[in-house]
Amino acid sequence: FLANHTSFMDSIVLAGHLPWAMLRRHRLLADIRFMKTPVLGRLFQAEQHIAVAFAGTKVNDFKLEKGNAEQIAAAIDIAMEAKDCLILYPEGQINKINLRVLNTFRRGSFKAAVRHDAVLWGWVAINNTVCWPTNTQLGGSPADIICMPVELAPGGTRELLTSLGVALEAKEGGEEELLTQQAGAVAQACQERMQKVLDALYVKHDAAPATDSYQ
């Protein structure tokens, strides 16, 4: 699953909609700092999610601690080989800029998906920030959360790449260059499809009459 990221509430809402067969085998890529937060951090540790250790704290600073990139890549490969349900936030960080526009998807996250011909689904949700604002350690406010799954590559990434007109096989010596191109094409296609759904959810939300103070 690829999901937009606006709040600590995102993982809880998504997990609450997964069937048990997926929920018991799901793995999440999560900022290691979240694992030190109350409640959610304890849950992440208990479920042995994959820790992402950012070296910096600034917005759009995606540099990782030494050795962490290799640890993440190895953990993702293990999860995909085991056919686990892997949940990624391809924006890389919580979107604090414009909730109606997805931040650029990090292409590196898609290389493993291409290598393993992974099935990809998207998950788009709005108003999680109303329930759990990013500046608070614990959420729980009433909110009209709207969410929707999105078909991205239900037949696998190779099928998606074929539909996009991207080569599947590289010339000798050009494997890594082609993989980078493929990952970029998949990332862009997924972002465009998820943005269309995000736009539609906000149209629905904006057209709905406000019935409570939190709307």
DSSP labels, 89-110: -TTSS---S-TTSPPPPPGGGG
Tell me the average pLDDT across 138-156.
92
In whole numbers, what is the pLDDT of the chain averaged over residues?
A: 87
For 18-65, write each residue's pLDDT tens digit.
888 888 888 877 777 777 777 767 777 777 788 777 776 676 667 778
Tell me the average pLDDT across 84-96.
89
Reported in sequence order, the residue ranges of 6-129 that DSSP labels E, i.e. its strands, are 26-31, 50-52, 85-87, 120-126
């109350």: which residue's tokens?
38
- Residue-level pLDDT at 139: 82
192 or 80, higher pLDDT: 192
106 or 172, higher pLDDT: 106
Tell me the average pLDDT across 140-157.
94
- Rounded distance, CA 58 to CA 32, Å? 15
Lowest mean pLDDT of 4-18, 58-72, 118-132, 162-176, name the range: 58-72
Which residues touch 171 (CB under 8 Å, ≥6 apart)? Answer: none
Whether 3 and 89 have beta carbons less than 8 Å apart is answered as yes
Report which listed range, 21-25, 95-99, 123-127, is most confident: 123-127
**106 pLDDT higher than 60:** yes
214 band by pLDDT with thresholds 50, 70 and 90: very low
79 band by pLDDT with thresholds 50, 70 and 90: confident
Instruction: Kindly state the tokens that stand for 128.
Output: 């999680």
